[in-house]
Amino acid sequence: MTVEQIISTIRQKKLQPDRELLSRAYDFMVKAHEGQIRADKITPYAEHPAMVALTLAEMGLDSTTIAAGLLHDVPEDTARTIDDIYDTFGQEIAQLVSGITKFSQIRYQGFDRYIESLRKMFLAASQDIRSILIKLADRKHNLETLKNLPEYKRERVAKETLEIYVPVAARLGLNNLKTTLEDLAFPYIYPREAQELIPKIIDRLENKKEYLEKINHLIQIELKKQNIKFLSVAGRAKGLYGIYRKLQLKKSSLENLYDIIAMRIIVPHAHDCYKVLSIIQNLWIPLPERYKDYIAHAKVNGYQSLHTTVICEDEEIVEWQIRTEQMHRVAELGVAAHWRYKEGQLNPNRLPTGTNRWLDELLLLDQSTENQNDYLSRLKEEIMTNRIFIFTPAGDILDLPTGATAVDFAYHIHTDIGNHCAGCRINGKMSSLETILQNNDTIEIIYDKNRLGPSRDWLNFAKTRHAREQIRRALS
C-alpha cells in the first residue's frame, strides 16, 4: 500500500487531500517501522498503518486524521516517541496518536493494562471522536490478518471485538464498519456455526438473485411510469453474523428467515421517499406492523430512512428501505458522514444528540469509577450493550439497553417521573412496570403525584444502573 493509493482514494471521495502532510507522515512511518514485520513473518509492518489510513480515507475523513492513522503505532512499537511526532507534525496529530497508544508494559500489566488502555481510549474519544475512528480502522485490519496470530489470541481479539468495538461502531452509526467487524470476528468465536451457516447463506443469496432482479425491474418500471426520479435501486444482504444472531433470537431456520436481503431505493429528496413508499404499498401488500418512519423520527445516532415490508410477487416477503443520498451516507458512515472536511475538525453541533450524549456518558463513567472491574462491567452494561429504540407518545426516540423495562424508561426520562410512576401503557395497552421493552415500542408512563416513592420490588427487574441507583436513593 503506497501513499499514492491513499491519496487516490481520498480524491475518489471528491475530497482534496493534503499531499504534503500525508507524504511526510507516510515516509516518517516507513522509516520508524523499518526492519519490522507482521506476525506472518513476511509482510513489512508498515503495511498495517497504511491499511488503517486507507480505511480512514474510504470513510471520507480529513488528512489530519489519516496522517494520525499512518502514525498510530509509531510510539508504541518503534524508538520514535510522542514528542517526536509533536515536534514533526504538531499538537493535533500528536494528541490523536497519544489517545490510542496503549500504556507501557512497565506501568500496567495483564488485566490492569487492558482496562487502562480502554479507559484511555474512551477518554480520548470523549475529547476528540476521531481517535476512536482510528482505533476502529486499526481493529478492522487486525481482524483481517487475525489468522496469523496464535489460536488463543485469535479468540480473545475476536471476542473483544464483538463485546467492545462492534457496539461502539453501532453507537456511532458506522453500519458498514460494524457489519465488517462482526463478520470478521464471527468465524473465530463460533467456528463450527460459521462453517455450517456461511455456505448455506451464500446458496440462499444466489437463489434469491434472480427473484430480486425481477422485482427490481418491476419497481423501476413503476417509478418511471409515475415520473419519480431515483438514483439507484439495489438489494443488499444482511451481514453473516447478523443473520446468525437473528436465527438464534428467533429460534428459526434459514428457510423461514425472509429478510436476509433488503431492497434499497435512493432518491433525490425527502419528499420523494414518501412518494416511493406509496407506490410500493399500492403495488404490493404491506405488513403494517413492519412499517417504520425513521425520517420523521431519526434514531439517536442520526439514522434516517423509511422501512416497509410487503408481500411481493409469488407471495415472497421483501423489506424495502427508502432514503436520500445524504441519509444513505449517514446510514453507512455514521458520525464520519458529519465530518467537516475543509475545516479539518468535527463540529459537535452537527453530531446527532445521541452521539453527544454517549460521549458525555464516557467521560462521566471515567470520572465516577475507580475500580477496574467495576469500570469494565459498567462499560459493557450501560454503554457498550446492544440498544433498543423506544418512542415517547410525542414521537421522540430514546435508546435503552436490551432487556430494559418500563421502570428503566421512566427513570431515563427523569428521576421524578421514575419515583412517581404508577403504571404504563405500551403501544396503547395497559402494562406492568416490569414489562421488558421491545424495539420500537411506544411507552406512556402514568404519573401519580401522590405516590410516596418507588417500590423496593423494582430493584428486582430494573435493568439500568441509573434506575437502580435512583431507586435505592429514594428508598434510603
Cell numbers of 343, please?
Answer: 475545516
Summarize the confidence of residues 258-285 as an average pLDDT: 91
Cell numbers of 236, please?
Answer: 443488499
CB neighbour list of residue 91: distance below 8 Å, 6 or more residues apart: none
The segment(s) of the chain belonging to CATH 3.30.460.10 are 204-331
Q: What is the DSSP string of 137-167?
A: HHHHHHHHTGGGS-HHHHHHHHHHIIIIIHH
Q: Confidence class of residue 298 from pLDDT cuts 50, 70 and 90?
A: confident
Alpha carbons 147 and 137: distance in angstroms, whole number: 18
> Residue 350: how many CB atoms within 10 A of its CB?
12
pLDDT in the model for residue 237? 78
CB neighbour list of residue 435: distance below 8 Å, 6 or more residues apart: 405, 406, 424, 426
Percent of the chain residues topping a pLDDT of 90: 43
Alpha carbons 92 and 343: distance in angstroms, whole number: 13
Alpha carbons 104 and 301: distance in angstroms, whole number: 34
Q: Confidence class of residue 6 from pLDDT cuts 50, 70 and 90?
A: very high
Cell 404499498, residue located = 281
pLDDT in the model for residue 316? 85
The segment(s) of the chain belonging to CATH 1.10.3210.10 are 3-148
CB 139 within 8 A of CB 133: no
Strands (E), 126-231: none
In CATH, what class is 204-331? alpha beta
Residue 321's nearest CA partner among 298, 348, 292, 296 is 292
pLDDT in the model for residue 220? 94
pLDDT in the model for residue 41? 86
Tens of pLDDT, residue by residue over 102-159, are 544 434 445 566 677 777 777 777 777 888 899 999 999 999 999 988 887 888 889 8
If you compute the radius of gyration of the chain from its CA atoms, what whole number of angstroms results? Answer: 24
pLDDT in the model for residue 201? 83
CA contacts within 13 A on the Cβ side of 362: 22
pLDDT(20) > 70: yes
Tens of pLDDT, residue by residue over 58-82, are 988 889 999 999 999 999 889 999 9
Q: Confidence class of residue 235 from pLDDT cuts 50, 70 and 90?
A: confident
Residue 389's beta-bridge partner residues? 399
Q: Which of 20, 40, 58, 76 is catalytic?
A: 76
Alpha carbons 116 and 139: distance in angstroms, whole number: 18
pLDDT(32) > 70: yes
pLDDT in the model for residue 238? 80
Tens of pLDDT, residue by residue over 173-221, are 888 899 999 999 999 999 998 898 888 888 887 878 888 889 999 999 9
Alpha carbons 329 and 60: distance in angstroms, whole number: 10
Alpha carbons 381 and 404: distance in angstroms, whole number: 11
pLDDT in the model for residue 102? 58
Please say if 396 is a catalytic residue: no
Q: Which of 103-112, 234-243, 300-309, 393-402 is predicted least confidently?
A: 103-112
Summarize the confidence of residues 405-430 as an average pLDDT: 92
Tens of pLDDT, residue by residue over 332-381, are 887 777 654 444 444 544 566 666 667 777 777 777 776 767 777 777 66
CA 14 to chain centroid, in Å, comes to: 24
Would you tell me which CATH number, out of the four given (2.40.50.140, 3.40.50.280, 3.10.20.30, 3.40.50.720), belongs to the domain 386-475?
3.10.20.30
pTM (2 d.p.): 0.76
pLDDT in the model for residue 354? 63
pLDDT in the model for residue 111? 57
For domain 3-148, give the CATH number: 1.10.3210.10
DSSP class of residue 380 equals I
The segment(s) of the chain belonging to CATH 3.10.20.30 are 386-475
Alpha carbons 81 and 74: distance in angstroms, whole number: 7
CB 105 within 8 A of CB 113: yes
pLDDT in the model for residue 280? 94
Q: Which of 18, 47, 77, 366 is catalytic?
A: 77
* Average pLDDT value over all residues in the chain: 85
CB neighbour list of residue 94: distance below 8 Å, 6 or more residues apart: 82, 85, 86
pLDDT in the model for residue 167? 84
